[in-house]
Structure 1
Amino acid sequence: MNDALTTFAPPRSPMPTDTPAAHIIAITSGKGGVGKTFVSANLAAALTRRGHRVLVLDADLGLANLDVVLNLHPKITLHDVFTGKAQLDDAVIPAPGGFSVILAGSGMIEYSRLTPEVRSEFLNVIHTLAPRYDVVILDTGAGISDVVLFSISMAPEVLIVATPEPTSLTDAYAAIKVLSSQQKRQHVRMVVNQTARAGDGRAITSQLQQVLDRFVTTESGKPVRLIHMGDIPADPSVRDAVMRRQLLLQQMPGCPAALAIAQLAGKVESTLLTPAA
């Protein structure tokens, strides 16, 4: 692994102190196929319903699929911005659910390695757009590649999505370990998707915390803290919404998974977006 990754420390504030900055949240996962982009899109819709100005940035440059989830066909994407063919403002488009998105688009595979140019372009996007929103969600790629880790490093808060499957939890553990050791993360927030029973996600988070307590310590000498943010139950409505390329919160707002997303938005709002008294 590139030694340069050790320099990816999460910024306390990616914006100058005199500039109003959004709350930046990276949503990631140890492995693909666990519903990370589904969570990003529907969480954005739920936060928008709560009155927040939200932008979702498709930071999965190699295997972007936010456009598929939202059934969007943008004329301008990050690819056009990075290659100088379009202005950044022109790549920001409205999404179903009332939030804004900037999509990676096709042809971004050449940006799947972290180069000084990719780093500079990413930072420019964040520095330019963050002051305009209350929340910026970075829908990152899965795993621990240098591009994924760099995109996560731009966010003070990281939310890792996992399922109860052993492979997902093993990869989630590996990702958390890297975030702790290389980015000096003191805590990571967790959502468990596709749970079978109420309480499963909290129990899984507790079990994973025990493993972290035993094998992973932060720079302060204390174990990295895993914060359980919520569960999303296994729900056939999710597959139906994904197949229809519609937001679950719009298609089936009363289904169990949609209600869980709404609860997650409330938890995000109360713990991350509400100023401390």
Structure 2
Amino acid sequence: MTDAVLPSHPAIPTTTPMGEAVRTRPQPRAKIIAITSGKGGVGKTFVSANLAAALTRHGLKVLVLDADLGLANLDVVLNLFPKITLHDVFTGKAALEDAVLAGPGGFSVLLAGSGMVEYSHLTPEIRAKFLQVVEAMAPRFDVILLDTGAGISDVVLFSVSMADEVMIVATPEPTSLTDAYAAIKVLATQQKRQHMRLIINQAVRPGDGRAITGQLQQVLNRFVTTEDGQPVRLLHMGDIPADPAVRDSVMRRQLLLQATPGCAAALSVAQLANKIKSMLTT
């Protein structure tokens, strides 16, 4: 395990004279994308890690930030054993630069501590520090992927609130789709999101994701509207097919794009990365 080398950048203020966190918008600034889900166990962290590797292959500087502060597992997926985590940064035991690691796919990683009960509910102090971390990293990368927890807890909602784009990962299972709808509804009403993007993982048949997106859009049209009275737009980003190679790579703690880059799921992740790269230039 080696430390990531951070690009140099001028210092930027992240607090007011009164000590309040503010969202500065330095240029250039990373596109911040939240990878979230309504239900746990849908492959959200798998998507975040492999998507980061695919984006890195496009020559982009990518950071994956483990935003599931209390139940972090990005380190497990990437087979990393961090000595310093965001917990150490928040408590002042370590500098932020020392917590940034090099991931196996060439991207950078900021890992959170696992089993930290104090992060089950965010205090104003932790919110401010979390925001400062994201703002400090934003000028140094092209893309920041926030690998959030599942559901609609205050930790998840605050993490998502920092993102420019929201991508919801779901599977075709009814419970996953029900929870995905609940998350979309909360994000639309509380954060005034006018559009969100959907990734269907473990798709069984080609076209599953587009059909599911259409069905969810119909429900949103009936029950969820934005401030201007328009329905929330749900954009289909793509499907990742059910593929035994995924389970094999997860069990071996390897990136799918490195272990079996030619499998169907890996090719689908690469297509997702192509779409995201197109988003960056529009």
TM over 0.5: yes
Percent of pairs identical after alignment? 77
Unaligned runs of 5+ in 2: 1-21
Q: Which amino acid aligns with 1:273?
A: L
Gaps in structure 1 of 5+ consecutive residues: 1-12
**How many angstroms does 1:114 deviate by?**
1.6
Is contact 1:238–1:248 with CA below 8 Å preserved after alignment?
yes
The answer to whether the 8 A contact 1:191-1:201 is kept is yes
**Comparing both structures, which one devotes a greater share of its residues to helix?**
1
> Can you list the C-alpha shifts for 1:89-115, whole angstroms capped at 9, x where unaligned?
100000000000000023422112121
Residue 63 of structure 1 and its aligned partner are, at CA, apart by 1.2
2:244 matched to 1:236?
A: yes
Report how far residue 188 of structure 1 moved. 0.4
Which residue matches 2:280?
A: 273
Q: Of residues 30, 33, 54 in structure 2, which corresponds to 1:25?
A: 33
1:74 and 1:22 map into 2 onto residues whose CA distance is 24
1:174 aligned partner: 182
8 Å contact 1:31–1:172 — kept in the other structure? Answer: yes
Q: Is this contact kept in 2: 1:67–1:105, CA < 8 A?
A: no
The one-letter code of the counterpart of 2:200 is V
Which deviations, in whole Å up to 9, do the C-alpha atoms of 1:50-78 show, x marking residues without a partner?
11000000000121100000000011001
1:14, CA displacement in angstroms?
A: 4.2
- Pairing partner for 1:152 from 160, 166, 177: 160
Q: Residue 229 of structure 1 aligns to a residue in which SS?
A: strand
Alignment of 1:1-277 (within 5 A): 14-16=23-25, 18-270=26-278, 272-274=279-281, 276=282
Q: Which residue of 2 is the match for residue 4 of structure 1?
A: none
1:246-267 residue CA offsets vs partner (Å, 9 max, x unmatched): 0000000000000000000001
RMSD: 1.1
Q: Is the 8 A contact 2:70 2:113 kept in 1?
A: no
Q: Aligned partners of 1:88, 1:112: CA distance in 2, in Å?
A: 22
Between the aligned partners of 1:33 and 1:129, the Cα distance in structure 2 is: 28
User: What amino acid sits opposite 1:40 in the alignment?
Assistant: S
Matched-pair contact (CA < 8 Å) for 1:233–1:260 = yes
**Letter matched to residue 30 of structure 1:** G
Asked if structure 1 preserves the Cα contact closer than 8 Å seen for 2:63 and 2:145, the reply is yes
The amino acid of 2:77's aligned partner reads V
Aligned partner letter, 2:48: S
TM-score (normalizing by structure 1): 0.92
Are the aligned partners of 1:93 and 1:100 in contact in 2 as well (CA < 8 Å)? yes
SS at match of 2:167: strand
Q: Deviations over 1:202-225 (max 9, x none)?
A: 101111111111111111101000
CA distance in 2, matches of 1:14, 1:256: 40
Deviation at 1:19, TM superposition (A): 3.2
CA deviation profile, 1:154-209 (whole Å, cap 9, x unmatched): 00100000000000000000000000000000000010000011101110111111
Structure 1: distance between partners of 2:259 and 2:75: 17
State the TM-score, normalized to the length of structure 2. 0.91
Q: Can you list the C-alpha shifts for 1:5-36, whole angstroms capped at 9, x where unaligned?
A: xxxxxxxx9433x4321000000000100000
Q: Deviations over 1:103-135 (max 9, x none)?
A: 002342211212111111111101111100000
Count matched residues.
261
- Matches of 1:219 and 1:32 in 2, distance apart? 29
Give the Cα–Cα distance (whole angstroms) in 1 for the partners of residues 147 and 137 of structure 2.
15
Matched position secondary structure for 1:240: helix
